[in-house]
Amino acid sequence: MTNTVNKFLVVLVMLMLSITSFSQSRYIVFANGYRGLNFDSVTTSNNIHTSPFDGYWYNFDDTIISRFDGVIPIYIDGHHPISTSMHRTKNKSYLSWFVSRFGVIGNNGLGFNDKPNEEGFQIRFNNGKICGEKFASEFLNDGVKDTVDIVCHSMGYSYALGFIEAVKSNVVLGKILIMAPESAGVRGMDWNLFEEVWQYGCDENDVTLLQDGIAPQSPVLGIEKLEVGKGGRVFIPEGGRKGFIRSHHLKHWDWFYGIKKGDLGYFGK
């Protein structure tokens, strides 16, 4: 009798472990962008982190995570040297800031470095793909499709695209929040694979002085084909801080917290 009970308990434990290992999880992946001039010589290690780089996300990650019950936050590093960006060099970025200060009249982007750096974009995309392959091998289980939500900013956009490319056949794509994407028009995807897609940033039709000069904005490629009701673009509202740096840097995006549940562009479960 005792042996029978023991065997039953062993089978029960194995069954419970099996169910646990194949239960579905929901991950929210934060892909940061450029981490500042002090790190310009550094290139991402393509590793996966469970905590953010100090100061990058401010309170955005905590706010968003709190809206997704039971979500598992993951951080990936899309930082690459400025040579992979549209600016290409530090001096060109400084000159762009100086010249664009005179763009008070009109919206011609006077002084902006807005020519896409497709080679640099591809470098970031390829590294994001390596990161995605690591994520798939280290976090995903065979036989079950976990849900993955994405939050990316600036250079993190191209990096996130590579990440998505590596995992999309093995996961359910949930929601994606694209903040001030760098070189948004270079590459996109079939955004209808996601539950929701939101692009946030300045309006490129604003007066040049109020536009994002760090990553001159345009629609992410393919967002115009998004099905009605699945998302779209959200611009910095009247009263929000705008300018070469302020339209881009998350430090100045307090307006995001004013988007409440039920509003256009609210990002949550």
- Domain of 192 in residue numbering reads as 26-258
Please tell me the pTM assigned to this model.
0.90
Q: Is 153 within 8 Å of 180 (Cβ atoms)?
A: yes
* Residue 79, in any domain of the structure: yes
Q: Is 215 within 8 Å of 112 (Cβ atoms)?
A: no
Q: What is the domain-level CATH number for residue 158?
A: 3.40.50
Q: pLDDT tens track of the chain, all 269 residues?
A: 544 544 443 334 334 434 444 578 999 999 999 999 999 999 999 999 999 988 899 999 999 999 999 999 999 999 999 999 999 999 999 999 998 877 666 677 788 999 999 999 999 999 999 999 999 999 998 888 999 999 999 999 999 999 999 999 999 999 999 999 999 999 999 999 999 999 999 999 998 989 999 999 999 999 999 999 999 999 999 999 999 999 999 999 999 999 999 999 999 98
Q: Is 66 helix (H, G, I), strand (E, B) or coil?
A: coil
- DSSP code per residue over 235-265: EPPTTS--STTTTT-GGG-GGGGG--TTSTT
* Residue 100, in any domain of the structure: yes
Q: Is 245 within 8 Å of 211 (Cβ atoms)?
A: no
CA atoms within 13 A on the CB side of 81: 10
* Residue 6, in any domain of the structure: no
Structural domains counted in the chain: 1
* Residue 141, in any domain of the structure: yes
* Residue 266, in any domain of the structure: no
* Residue 10, in any domain of the structure: no
* Residue 7, in any domain of the structure: no
